[in-house]
Every structure is written in C-alpha cells, then in structure tokens.
Amino acid sequence: MQSKPTILTLPEEEFVHPGNRACSGCGLGIAYRIGLKALGKDTILVVPPSCLTVLQGLYPVAATKLPSLNVTFASTAAAASGVLAALKSLGREGITVVGWAGDGGTSDIGLQSLSGAAERGEDFIYICYDNEGYMNTGVQRSGTTPIGALTTNTPIFGKAQDKKNVPAIMRAHEIPYVATSCSAYPLDLFTKIEKAKTIRGTKYIHILTPCPPGWGYDPRYTVKVGKLAVETGMYDLYEIENGEFKLTGASRKLLDKRKLLPVEAYLKMQTRFKTMRDEHIKQVQDRINKRWDAYLERFKE
C-alpha cells in the first residue's frame, strides 16, 4: 500500500467507462472513479437504488467494468453479507466485497441492515456517498441533509434538524475502521479505501459528494464547493482505526484555527441555503467553532 499517493502514481487502469449517465459535475462520479482505482479488479460491488444505479446504467451498456449486484433499498449490507457467504462456500479468496450506497440508503432506509452487519463483524467495506438528499428521485430530504437546506419536502426556511452523524453511529459499533472523505480530495479518498482493503472486519467510509442540481451551484464548481465544505469546518476529514481518532489531510491543517474560513463562504455558493437568515448562519458558525474548539483542546501540543 502506498503511504502517500500522488495523481501521477494512481493506477492507470479505469473501471468506469466514459460517457456514463451521471450529471455534469457529479461529485459521485469523481469519488466512484477514484474509489474503484483503489479497490482494483478483484472487487464485487453491491448497490441499492441510488444515483449510482443511474451512473452504472443498464446491461449491455453498463458503465462499470466490475461485477455489480443491484439490490433493494434496505438490503445493501445484508446482500453484501450474502455475497461474502457465497464466496466462502466456494472457497474463493482475495476478493473485496463493497457495499456502495447513497445517504438515503444508508442513514435512513438501510441503517438497520448496516448495523446488523457491523455487529456481526462482516468482512466488507461499506461506502456511503453522501450528497445530502434523495437526489435521483427529485431532491427530497434525507437524514444527512444539513440544517437550513431546502429540498422539495422541507419547509420554506429549509430543514429544521441537524445532519445525522452516521460515522459516529458506526464508530459506536466498535468496528475496526471508520473514515470520512470528500470527492474534492481524491488522494485522501484513495488512501483511505486502499487502507480499508487491508483491514479485516466491517469498514465504513463516508464520502461527501457535492451535487450540482440538488445543492444549486454551477457544475464547474463541484471541487470548489467540496473544498469549501472542509475548509470552513462544515465537514471534517478524519479516520478512526481501532478506536483511535485522528484528523487527516486538509482538516488537520485547520488545527491552526486561523485557517478556518467563515461558513458563509460555503453556504452562499448554494441556492439550497438561500432562505437561511443571518441568525441561522451564525448558529451554524457557532456550532462549527464549538466543535473545532474541542478538536483544538484534544490535539493541542
């Protein structure tokens, strides 16, 4: 495993065909391409209904060059467990099983299945790509939609509840590896998925994937929006390996709090936050400051 990959040292083999059905500027498209490079050819994917199903397409014009099992919304982790059992019965080794689901299929509809698999210690990687809503069905709120964000089924001032912290839920299961990443940081993502392949047991990786139509920004700014999510402290990059928590990449640099950008820079780039009042933006900023003050206290020299 490479400890510090660069863009030039990433594997050249592609596992996603060009010309797929993803939207322009799709953050998932970036994460999926990089993620499959890290996983390699000896991989079986398990995918529920989601934007990824649309991206993959239908046989015989599927966009993915790996075997993929499309399953029901709630059963990603259960189906991945079944694939593992089938491989074991056949004596097949050296194959990585990956459940790759959206935030709706993870934080809401598929949470019980994921929790059960984690409790059993099933040896697969579960990847949640988080575009913070049910985007391919018309932009409805999910458990991970952030406070203040507008969707087609939220009040006029946006979602009133905080985002569900799924990585923290998975951490509570005491699985060997939990990590967060963002499609705007491909090397961070590649490193974490590659590491997860080497660890036995249930591994969970949560990837923030900006969505132009769902979030309301020009598709050319997908990477910029993703970086602002991290640079403002709205979304943190970290990993928890065998219970040990550490900030990674761009988030670790923010332990110098002078580098933390105001969250307004992130919110104002997206029309989904257009009805947020100044006092609501201040509340979000105060929550970020409180969380980062806790990080600073925890990791001070």
pTM exceeds 0.95: yes
What average pLDDT does the segment 108-126 reach? 99
The pLDDT score that the predictor gives to residue 267 is 98
% of the chain surpassing 90 pLDDT: 92
> Is pLDDT above 60 for 301?
no
pLDDT of 218 above 60: yes
Quote the pLDDT of residue 3.
Answer: 64
Instruction: Please say whether the beta carbons of 203 and 124 come within 8 A.
Output: yes
Q: What is the CATH number of the domain that holds 295?
A: 3.40.50.970
pLDDT digit string, tens, across residues 192-211: 999 999 999 999 999 999 99
Whether the pLDDT of residue 2 is over 60: the answer is: no
Given the DSSP bridges, would you call strands 43-47 and 96-102 parallel, antiparallel or unpaired? parallel
Determine, yes or no, domain membership for 229: yes
Query: Of residues 61 and 3, which shows the higher confidence score?
Result: 61
pLDDT at 173: 98
Residue 46 burial (C-beta neighbours within 10 Å; 0-12, 13-18, 19+): buried
Domain count within the chain? 1
In a domain, residue 246? The reply is: yes
Percent of the chain with pLDDT over 70: 98
Strand 43-47's sheet: what is its strand order?
Answer: 68-70, 43-47, 96-102, 125-130, 203-208, 177-182, 238-241, 244-247
DSSP 104: I
Whether residue 256 lies inside any domain: the answer is yes
Whether 2 is in a domain gets the answer: no
In a domain, 266, yes or no: yes
Instruction: Identify the domain containing residue 204 by its residue range.
Output: 10-299
Q: How confident is the model at residue 299 (pLDDT cuts 50, 70, 90)?
A: confident
pLDDT at residue 59, as a whole number: 78
What would the pLDDT profile of 122-175 be if each residue is shown by its tens digit? Answer: 999 999 999 999 999 999 999 999 999 999 999 999 999 999 999 999 999 999
Give yes or no for residue 1 having a pLDDT over 80: no
Structural domain includes residue 3? no
DSSP string, 201-262: S-EEEEEE---HHHHTS-GGGHHHHHHHHHHTTSS--EEEETTEEEE-HHHHHTTSGGGPPP
In a domain, 183, yes or no: yes
What pLDDT is attached to residue 300?
65
> Does residue 5 sit within a domain?
no
The Cα–Cα gap between 29 and 26 comes to 5
pLDDT of residue 176: 99
Weakest-pLDDT range from 2-16, 68-82, 124-138, 139-153: 2-16
**Three-class DSSP category at 64:** strand
